[in-house]
Amino acid sequence: MSRPVLALLLLISSILCTLLSCTAPSQGQTLAQVESEHPEIIIAISYFNETLGGQVEALQAAHETLTIFAPENTAIRALPQGALANLERNHTLLQDVLLYHMLHGNYTARDLEERGAFRPKTLFDNNTVLIEANASGVTVNGYEVVTPDVFFDLGVIHIIDGVLIPPEFRSDLLG
């Protein structure tokens, strides 16, 4: 893993760690609170927590805003069986996939709608996702945002009905 990627992971780890492990909470709801209000994304949140949260407790939280696209449990369970097994076995892969669900910045559904169609960089290696937004809704790589604007300490979570897979992993994971 390259140093910038590692640094990024550590940064995110520290952020999620702060959110999840209940050191002094800042303003807004924590991911744990989001989880209790949105049990439909409990798997995604536990992935973030399990793979990143506990890792680097010593690091300080960095002040950065994030937009996270969180797949519903049903979308995760609908992945091909081999894909799910791979993700659970290979935490590098899982982290890469999680980073592909995150953008720098705090983009509300309304912000997205104002931009219409665009391709922002994700936190995974600058890979982009395609966002298309209008008054009737928002899609990311063709998946629908089913619940927009779940705010948390660091920004916003949009709940989506599919799992975003970086292009380079698609043939391996999705067959």
Helix (H, G, I), strand (E, B), or coil: what is residue 53?
A: helix
Max Cα-Cα span within the chain = 44
Nearer to ligand NAG among residue 60 and residue 134 (C-beta): 134
Nearer to ligand NAG among residue 38 and residue 151 (C-beta): 151
H-state helical runs in the chain: 3-20, 31-37, 42-48, 73-77, 81-89, 91-99, 109-115, 167-174
Chain residues in the site for ligand NAG (CB under 6 A):
4, 20, 31-32, 35, 45-46, 49, 53-54, 65, 90, 92-93, 96, 106, 108, 125-126, 132, 134, 136, 139, 151, 154-156
CB of 28 to ligand NAG, least distance (A): 6
Is residue 163 within 8 A of residue 96, CB to CB? The reply is no
CB of 46 to ligand NAG, least distance (A): 5
Nearer to ligand NAG among residue 23 and residue 92 (C-beta): 92
List the beta bridge partners of residue 121: 128
